[in-house]
Copies of this chain bind each other. A is one copy, B any other.
Amino acid sequence: MIMIIISVMADKEAISKNFKKYLSSRGLRRTLQRDVIVREIIKSAKHLTADEIFERLRKKNPNIGYATVCRNLKLLYSAGIIDEIKIGNQKTRYELKSEDSHHDHLICVKCGKFIEVFSEKIEELQKEMARKERFIVLRHKLEIYGICKYCGEKGGERS
């Protein structure tokens, strides 16, 4: 249990350290806003939208601007610190990225919820498929749309 706590703490420190490294390597500045945004993402629930993060930060920092939140989420994405989850026309969601965080999504077209799944085999096959095309893979996105077990049980119409 202690091990887990230590490892989580180490991750958090690593995230901040990487971000600072990223900023200074590009001549960007460390600001109060950037600090609170990163901290909020570290402690928050998964996959939040820009305005959810904005609202949370507002409580403690009434002067922070929405544009600043959006801008810095994009920056954190560019820095490889967070993932961007774009599903259909929904608002973009963000979540902390870590070694084991990659996952695909099963998206229920009835209730809108999404389940995270992962398959090492699928990842490998994707790489193989790309290799055949001499294509260098940077990232990927797999979304499976359908009806989740709860909506399926309740029975009902197609959407």
A145's contact among B104, B122, B139, B144, by CB below 8 Å, is which?
A: B139
- Shortest distance between the CB of A23 and any CB in chain B (Å): 18
Whether the Cβ atoms of B138 and A146 lie closer than 8 Å is yes
A135 to B136 Cα, complex, angstroms: 32
Which B residues are in CB contact (< 8 Å) with A157? Answer: none
A137 to B104 Cα, complex, angstroms: 14
Whether the Cβ atoms of A135 and B147 lie closer than 8 Å is yes
A131 to B138 Cα, complex, angstroms: 28
A152 beta carbon closer than 8 Å to chain B: yes
Copies per complex of this chain: 2
- Shortest distance between the CB of A156 and any CB in chain B (Å): 12
- The contact sample of 25 A-B pairs, CB cut-off 8 A, is A86-B89, A106-B130, A106-B135, A108-B135, A117-B133, A119-B125, A119-B126, A122-B122, A125-B125, A126-B144, A130-B146, A133-B149, A134-B148, A134-B152, A135-B146, A135-B148, A135-B149, A135-B152, A136-B147, A139-B144, A139-B146, A140-B142, A140-B143, A140-B144, A141-B142
A8 beta carbon closer than 8 Å to chain B: no
Which B residues are in CB contact (< 8 Å) with A36? Answer: none
A109 beta carbon closer than 8 Å to chain B: yes
